[in-house]
Structure 1
Amino acid sequence: MTLQKKVIWITGASSGIGEALAYEFNKKGAHLILSARRIEELERVKENCSDSEESVKILPLDLAETHGMNDKVLEALAYFGHVDMLINNGGISQRSYAVDTQMSTVRRVMEVNFFGTVALTKALLPTFIEQKSGHVVVISSVMGKFGTKFRSTYAASKHALHGYFDSLRQEVYDHNIDVTLVCPGYIKTDVTINALTGSGEKYNKMSKGHKNAMPPDEFAKKLIPKLAARKEEIYLGGAELMGVYLKRFVPKLFNKILKRVSVT
């Protein structure tokens, strides 16, 4: 699949994985729609792209404001006339014990990670159905396949995405629409620094696993060919990916291992 002039809409494009994907798609000649809350950071990412005035558009978006998604889709379609791929990358993480996590924090994480992603996808879906093509990509996590201490709400939001988009995939086969769930392991981003504590404040710490993890630009380079191959589920990361298979085949052993492992 050539990416030349394909229209790629990326949420969470102001940093981390989203920013790295923007640069990599831009190198391959794609047209980009970049969304996030921080307009100044989106402008920075745009300026770092080549041919940015013609090929890169900025569309500010807050995933927590699900009521406005239909209008956002209309704005996106006005830029290039259509969208070929939606990359649902925006989201937030959580670092706190379940007993200490306020319900307001639980709702915040679910609102952004699950409801925001679903609302935007649903708003764009009729366009994909009408044009008889489209690719929905969801940046999930290995936490969508198993849970650990300190991440109960985050893991729940990612598990919910898997249930929803696995089901959606079955519904859109006949419309020539692909659905891909991407499960990164540790990627060297600020995801833990920006994570919410139980009270909803910023965690402000880089986790041990992320300090020496795969850089986001390497992740983007490895991911795009797999997206072009329209794979249904993609795993990228380090040794932590083994947890997916241990959970599936030897869950009792896996739980024993997790009890002893530091996950902060």
Structure 2
Amino acid sequence: MSLQFSVLASGSTGNAIFVETDSHSFLVDAGLSGKQMEALFQQIDRDMSKLSGILVTHEHSDHIKGVGIVARKYKLPIYANQKTWQAMDPLIGQVPTEQKFTFDMETVKTFGGLDIESFGVSHDAAEPMFYVFHYGQKKLVLITDTGYVSDRMKGLISNADAYVFESNHDVQMLRMGRYPWNIKRRILSDVGHVSNEDAAIAMAEVAGDRTKSFYLAHLSQDNNMKDLARMAVSQTLEGRGIRVGDQFQLYDTDPKTPTILTAV
């Protein structure tokens, strides 16, 4: 049984993740234009028309920019919770009713042998939620766009094989940077984004015996850098007795280039 994924794009300019099993495939968010989304799928040698649907995490534009376009063109079902639908509906254009599906928070939807579990996060959106994919003995967790990782979240996402995990900003870069204070305060708040160090602390607490990889995701283009994120996360983990490369690997994601399609 094969569970594979690619982080197609990750960052403040647009987010999209592709997940596939032997019989189903899903796009989690489509925060880029339809043309950009098609180019990303070509790079991983996959056909958008064969998608089983689009799973939406929340209504911010860097997650839904291409949702309506892609869904209309390829006649794909869209899954989101009710509050997200209410916030997103006016932003994605007309979508036929038969393509609209509700996926409530803290529930599981089953597609063949694939169980997709939704869970709430702490972000300034209507009802933001992310997903855990269970397929056979494999577990893949997607978690970005959260101001902190609560004990409840940690319990749901612990001991996965692979994680796409937010490592949004370096606190010093953010504090010293060009953003107005109200934006800085929002990012640093409990409904903003997780810093490199806080991400690493949460990683140390959720990683288990079977954990092989963390993909550092949703890096701010103004307040972070790949090398800095990797170094900060590695140092924080080492301070907690975890050597990167021994227990698990860290991987980069990119706003424009997909990660290699990888088996969990």
Instruction: Tell me which interval the TM-score lies in, with the shorter structure as reference length.
Output: 0.3 to 0.5
Query: Would you tell me which structure has more helix in proportion to its own residues?
Result: 1
TM-score by length of 2: 0.40
Higher strand share: 2
